[in-house]
């Protein structure tokens, strides 16, 4: 069955826009259903507004729809509702209610988003703090060992020339992140001049050794300027220190350098070794590497 709406009724009469109750009764009594005629009063609402009223004002939409035809055919209730101001006020209330409900829903969604964001931030901060604690725990002993076997000796050597400072320090750890953080920490030492040299694969071993020698010479000059030894961290040291074709001559130079770099150049070499430690064992002799720190 097709449901007729107020807009389906053609109107050519001059009835007032809002009919009084008596006039509505008169219309209901005198005008019989004739949808092809021009006797029915004009409706006040648009189709969309009527549809809103259908959805909101009735709990059971199906029953409303099934009775709408008979209402259109002359029931008093229809004309009272459509032809007076009551629907205008009611639909305004309905619209306001719907807007309020939508705003509440939007606020709930915003609160939900804020809650999810807060929970993510809280989880991230918790994980960050836990990682910080794990890192501090993992680095506490290595830091203490570095202080004992290097920094304390540097301080003592200022008043005692017989104090021997390590030629080299090896760092080895299971987790690269921990090794990186520890290396960053030792390079903040105020007791030393700190330098970093990264071995580049596109450079020949001769070029690399010349670069290192220049750093050694600068370390010696800096020591006589400010009295501080140099801490030289050689990144990717294993590239030139692993026994393989092309490294034999370089390893021979390193053997000599690492026996005297502290005494001659006032420079201590720091390097990290891979977990499987492929570095030439002779370079790790106690005469060369006086401090081995495991993280």
pLDDT (tens digit per residue) in 70-121: 444 443 334 434 444 445 566 677 677 778 878 888 898 999 999 999 999 9
CATH code given to domain 135-294: 3.40.50.300
Q: Find the distance separating the first CA and the last CA of the chain, reported in whole Å.
A: 83
Looking at residue 257, its pLDDT comes to 95
Question: Does the pLDDT of residue 211 top 50, yes or no?
Answer: yes
Which of 86, 92, 73, 68 lies closest to 20 in space, CA to CA? 86
Give me the mean pLDDT over the 215-229 stretch.
95
Higher pLDDT, 15 or 104: 104
* Candidate ranges 52-56, 65-69, 167-171; pick with highest mean pLDDT: 167-171
Higher pLDDT, 184 or 34: 184
Segment 241-289, tens digit of pLDDT: 999 888 999 999 999 999 999 999 999 999 998 877 889 999 999 999 9
Segment 143-198, tens digit of pLDDT: 999 999 999 999 998 888 788 999 999 999 888 889 999 999 999 999 999 999 99
Question: Does the pLDDT of residue 20 top 70, yes or no?
Answer: no
Contact 61, 55 (CB under 8 A): yes
Looking at residue 74, its pLDDT comes to 41
d(CA 219, CA 195): 9
Query: Which sequence spans correspond to the domains of the chain?
Result: 6-84, 135-294
Q: Which helix (H) or strand (E) holds 198?
A: strand 193-198
What does pTM read for this prediction?
0.60
């Amino acid at each position: 069955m097709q449901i007729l709406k107020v807009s389906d009724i053609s109107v050519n009469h001059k009835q007032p826009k809002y009919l009084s109750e008596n006039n509505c009764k008169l219309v209901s009594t005198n005008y019989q259903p004739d949808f092809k005629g021009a006797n029915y009063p004009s409706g006040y609402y648009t189709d969309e507004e009527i549809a809103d009223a259908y959805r909101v004002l009735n709990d059971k939409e199906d029953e409303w729809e099934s009775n709408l035809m008979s209402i259109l055919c002359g029931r008093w209730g229809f004309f009272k509702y459509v032809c007076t101001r009551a629907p205008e006020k009611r639909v305004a209330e309905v619209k306001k209610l719907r807007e309020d409900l939508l705003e509440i829903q939007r606020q709930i969604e915003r609160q939900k988003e804020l809650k999810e964001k807060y929970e993510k931030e809280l989880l991230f901060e918790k994980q960050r703090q836990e990682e910080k604690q794990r890192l501090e725990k993992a680095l506490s002993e290595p830091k203490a060992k570095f202080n004992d076997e290097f920094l304390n000796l540097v301080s003592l050597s200022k008043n005692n020339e017989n104090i021997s400072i390590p030629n080299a320090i090896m760092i080895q750890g299971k987790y690269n992140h921990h090794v990186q953080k520890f290396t960053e920490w030792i390079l903040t030492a105020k007791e030393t001049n700190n330098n970093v040299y990264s071995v580049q694969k596109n450079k020949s071993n001769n070029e690399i050794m010349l670069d290192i020698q220049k750093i050694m010479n600068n370390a010696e000059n800096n020591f006589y300027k400010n009295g501080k030894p140099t801490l030289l961290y050689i990144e990717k040291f294993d590239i030139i220190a692993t026994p393989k074709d092309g490294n034999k001559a370089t390893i021979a130079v390193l053997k000599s350098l690492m026996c005297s770099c502290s005494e001659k150049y006032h420079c201590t070499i720091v390097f990290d070794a891979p977990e499987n430690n492929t570095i030439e064992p002779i370079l790790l002799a106690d005469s060369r590497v006086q401090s081995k720190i495991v993280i």
